Chains A and B, each alone.
Chain A
């Protein structure tokens, strides 16, 4: 038996050095040298250089003057980037229907004139609870509410949404989307 254990132990040590020490260290070194911004979390900094978010991680917005993002199921508060989580609600779980109903009511209460159906991504929780994006349809749904709250021309706002909308990567990969934090920072920059 010892005849097997000794090489097994030594080979595990060798493999650990190679794939558990050298490999992660090499990737970290190259990543920090070649892509430092991405490797450290794609941080957004304000004019004073203070980190005010990540381009990849969403934040929670509930004020009517801002674009609202996807509902988030992280605990104990939404968009907790220290503990990602989805809702894991099944499709016919009554709790899912209740949650969606509450979200639709909140959207309708904030913008009573808008009678159009709500884009589904705006009322369903994202997989990570940190989704930074909404669909262009979900942004359009909120334009009139924000235009009224901020007293700006809705068409100007639409133009802003268009310029912040990213199309499919390479023209065909993924889905069109708009970054909510970027949109709201642009809103705050207007005035």
Chain B
């Protein structure tokens, strides 16, 4: 690794952690229902929304009511996105006259955006009209992020409240997350991105003249639309000369801003943030990468502030950061080392002041190795899933780390809200394990952790691995699953395992060689995303409800303090142990075998 590489990574981590306290403190005020002076006028918009929506903001909900509101709201959003895709050819703002999306792909995409996964089986610029992108996908980018934040806030209330039946109001938590946090940040980021060159327009695609004409051959089609064949039965090729370039445009910046801030990750264009119109400069890259982890990291501080002991938040943030930094320093060197196969062909892969070197297949020159590999770790530690390089072309180890980060359950920072509530579930398991070791009833933040909480925590931790491993196993057994594989050998298995790891943890990134836009994968991955999202969110709300009803026990001499390095180590150990024991056998069949083949 180069010294500049260390510098870029260090600056990133320092800025990220430096913003955790100011933003986290601001969010704590928002969720405590305090108004922020310069944003007081937003309060009138907020009340207007409640009035028009027929919502009584002061009405508290039990956890079951909270969960029902969340599920119905997400279901309606899913239906809206499905309908927009199916009818886009009849609707306005479709200057490229894109056709209706197929039912299976539309289902998959609707689930994907409602569940904050943003797995994409389609290519944006060739599939979705401007109307579908803004009115459907952008809205769900906000809604799904706000949903995750609402669940987290409800869980935090579970720790704060004592002997109460209710955990807050879903509509209020969702609306305040959107109005005070996601929208203002998105507006700022979107404008900064446009300044760097991200497009934002409702005009049709732009045609420009090419400096040098390009020609290619394609099978000639007869009047019946079938390829014409010559006397040997081979298709006749015709030469096509292209003199113009069509530049895909669109209202990209507004969607990209929330795609990053809401840990959604769904690209406006097919290649996501590798596209120069989606991520044009190293600065736009830095801002987008920062936005991915900004809210998840800051929410740790919010958690600490809301439970009245900021050390609790810092401890969790520190545990996440330890895992994150360690894995950055596996992926970046793996990619910088490059590909021995290409080295033997006479390429120069040594980094220098004049070239990034390393494994450049699928990477952009302006980002080089460091920013591509760092982004891969960032996007998979958060449940973001946007990419600025093609993960399918990463080295085996460089691609394994992103896959494993997803398999850990998206709790190293994780998605907005969902990452921290996932990590708190792991913290419950950690105190439970510690409790077993010292023979006392486990407590966390003054709440006794009992059988009900542990059952719910087990459900939340075991469902994703079941979906990932079960789904991948089915896919490699049936023809419909195997026929979509693109790369041969162990890497092909990695493509399938990566797809289910991504969908089964609501990440959304892909080893994109896999042809996932087939009825089989659209359906299977759609199911995986639904399970992964709601079979976590609902048990977490159940835990919140159960905790809120308990009294708070004062810490005694037998209480395990949960802000110490000892607890951090215990938490890291729990996360890594579950992740390692569950997934190393599967990883051995994919990236590990491939690495051995590559270096033999």
0/1 string, A142-176, CB within 8 A of B gives 1: 00000000000000000000000000111011111
Q: Which residue of B lies closest to A9 (CB)?
A: B76
User: Which B residues are in CB contact (< 8 Å) with A135?
Assistant: 354-356, 365
Check A39 against B208 for contact (C-beta < 8 Å).
no
- Complex CA distance for A20 and B392, rounded to whole angstroms: 32
Check A56 against B341 for contact (C-beta < 8 Å).
no
**CB within 8 Å of A: which of B136-157?**
136, 138-139, 141-143
Check B365 against A70 for contact (C-beta < 8 Å).
yes
The stretch among B211-219, B449-457, B573-581 that forms the contact with chain A is B211-219
- Complex CA distance for A61 and B179, rounded to whole angstroms: 48
0/1 string, A35-73, CB within 8 A of B gives 1: 100111111100000111111111111110010001000
Check A57 against B276 for contact (C-beta < 8 Å).
yes
Q: Which residue of B lies closest to A27 (CB)?
A: B254
User: Which B residues are in CB contact (< 8 Å) with A66?
Assistant: 211-212
Check B72 against A40 for contact (C-beta < 8 Å).
no
Nearest Cβ on chain B to A25's Cβ, whole angstroms: 9
| Complex partner residue of A88 from B339, B355, B512, CB under 8 angstroms | B512
- Complex CA distance for A172 and B186, rounded to whole angstroms: 26
- Complex CA distance for A43 and B364, rounded to whole angstroms: 20
Nearest Cβ on chain A to B409's Cβ, whole angstroms: 26
Q: Does B18 contact A (CB under 8 A)?
A: no
Check A92 against B341 for contact (C-beta < 8 Å).
yes
Nearest Cβ on chain A to B498's Cβ, whole angstroms: 11
User: Which A residues are in CB contact (< 8 Å) with B487?
Assistant: 88-90, 93
Nearest Cβ on chain B to A102's Cβ, whole angstroms: 10
User: Which B residues are in CB contact (< 8 Å) with A23?
Assistant: 138, 183, 186-187, 254
**CB within 8 Å of A: which of B361-404?**
361-368, 371-372, 387-390, 392-396
| Complex partner residue of B69 from A8, A40, A132, A184, CB under 8 angstroms | A8
Check A131 against B254 for contact (C-beta < 8 Å).
no
| Complex partner residue of B211 from A14, A81, A181, CB under 8 angstroms | A181
Nearest Cβ on chain A to B5's Cβ, whole angstroms: 10
User: Which A residues are in CB contact (< 8 Å) with B126?
Assistant: 82-83
User: Which A residues are in CB contact (< 8 Å) with B65?
Assistant: 4
Check A40 against B134 for contact (C-beta < 8 Å).
no
- Complex CA distance for A21 and B210, rounded to whole angstroms: 35
Known: A31-B191, A104-B347, A175-B365. A84 touches B282 (CB 8 A): no
Nearest Cβ on chain A to B256's Cβ, whole angstroms: 10
User: Which A residues are in CB contact (< 8 Å) with B52?
Assistant: 10, 14
Q: Does B569 contact A (CB under 8 A)?
A: no
Check B191 against A34 for contact (C-beta < 8 Å).
yes
Check B352 against A87 for contact (C-beta < 8 Å).
no
- Complex CA distance for A81 and B349, rounded to whole angstroms: 28
- Complex CA distance for A99 and B200, rounded to whole angstroms: 36
Check A83 against B206 for contact (C-beta < 8 Å).
no
User: Which B residues are in CB contact (< 8 Å) with A106?
Assistant: none
User: Which A residues are in CB contact (< 8 Å) with B206?
Assistant: 40-41, 43, 51, 54
Nearest Cβ on chain A to B318's Cβ, whole angstroms: 26
User: Which A residues are in CB contact (< 8 Å) with B143?
Assistant: 12, 15, 19
Q: Does B407 contact A (CB under 8 A)?
A: no
- Complex CA distance for A133 and B392, rounded to whole angstroms: 22
| Complex partner residue of A130 from B275, B488, B511, CB under 8 angstroms | B275
**CB within 8 Å of A: which of B58-93?**
65, 68-69, 72-73, 76-77, 80
Check A137 against B198 for contact (C-beta < 8 Å).
no
Check A127 against B342 for contact (C-beta < 8 Å).
no
- A interface size (C-beta, 8 A): 110
Q: Does A121 contact B (CB under 8 A)?
A: yes
0/1 string, B275-291, CB within 8 A of A gives 1: 11100111101100000
Nearest Cβ on chain B to A136's Cβ, whole angstroms: 4
| Complex partner residue of A20 from B138, B196, B270, B366, CB under 8 angstroms | B138
- Complex CA distance for A26 and B345, rounded to whole angstroms: 52
User: Which B residues are in CB contact (< 8 Å) with A184?
Assistant: 211
Check B247 against A172 for contact (C-beta < 8 Å).
no
Nearest Cβ on chain B to A117's Cβ, whole angstroms: 4
Check A82 against B254 for contact (C-beta < 8 Å).
no
Check A124 against B4 for contact (C-beta < 8 Å).
no
Q: Does A91 contact B (CB under 8 A)?
A: yes
User: Which B residues are in CB contact (< 8 Å) with A58?
Assistant: 276
- Complex CA distance for A188 and B356, rounded to whole angstroms: 28
Check A10 against B53 for contact (C-beta < 8 Å).
yes
Q: Which residue of B lies closest to A53 (CB)?
A: B208
- Complex CA distance for A120 and B396, rounded to whole angstroms: 18
0/1 string, A107-136, CB within 8 A of B gives 1: 000000000111111011111111111111
0/1 string, B185-201, CB within 8 A of A gives 1: 01100110011111111
Q: Does B584 contact A (CB under 8 A)?
A: no
Check A28 against B348 for contact (C-beta < 8 Å).
no
Known: A89-B513, A128-B364. A20 touches B135 (CB 8 A): yes
Q: Does B49 contact A (CB under 8 A)?
A: yes
- Complex CA distance for A66 and B210, rounded to whole angstroms: 13
The stretch among B170-178, B297-305, B532-540 that forms the contact with chain A is B170-178
Known: A31-B191, A57-B277, A185-B211. A19 touches B345 (CB 8 A): no
Check B200 against A77 for contact (C-beta < 8 Å).
no
Check B355 against A6 for contact (C-beta < 8 Å).
no
Q: Which residue of B lies closest to A170 (CB)?
A: B283
Nearest Cβ on chain A to B331's Cβ, whole angstroms: 14
Nearest Cβ on chain A to B57's Cβ, whole angstroms: 11
Q: Which residue of B lies closest to A174 (CB)?
A: B282
Check A131 against B365 for contact (C-beta < 8 Å).
yes
User: Which B residues are in CB contact (< 8 Å) with A11?
Assistant: 49, 53, 55, 73, 171, 174-175
Check B212 against A137 for contact (C-beta < 8 Å).
no
Known: A27-B187, A27-B254, A89-B393. A79 touches B214 (CB 8 A): yes
Known: A86-B393, A88-B512, A119-B347. A19 touches B205 (CB 8 A): no
- Complex CA distance for A38 and B348, rounded to whole angstroms: 35
| Complex partner residue of A18 from B123, B183, B358, B394, CB under 8 angstroms | B183
The residue in A56, A57, A76, A104 that gathers the most chain B C-beta atoms within 10 A of its C-beta is A56
Known: A20-B138, A88-B390, A104-B347. A83 touches B363 (CB 8 A): no
- Complex CA distance for A142 and B212, rounded to whole angstroms: 18
| Complex partner residue of A92 from B186, B218, B254, B489, CB under 8 angstroms | B489
The 9 A-B residue pairs whose C-beta atoms are closest, nearest first, are A174-B282, A127-B274, A88-B513, A175-B368, A137-B355, A90-B491, A86-B390, A135-B355, A117-B348
Which residues of A approach B to under 8 Å, CB–CB? 4-16, 18-21, 23-24, 26-28, 30-32, 34-35, 38-44, 50-63, 66, 70, 76-94, 96-97, 100-101, 104, 116-121, 123-138, 140, 168-170, 172-177, 181, 184-185, 188
Please name 4 further chain A to chain B contacts, defined as beta carbons within 8 Å, in addition to the given A39-B201, A40-B203, sorted by A numbering: A19-B141, A28-B201, A88-B390, A131-B276
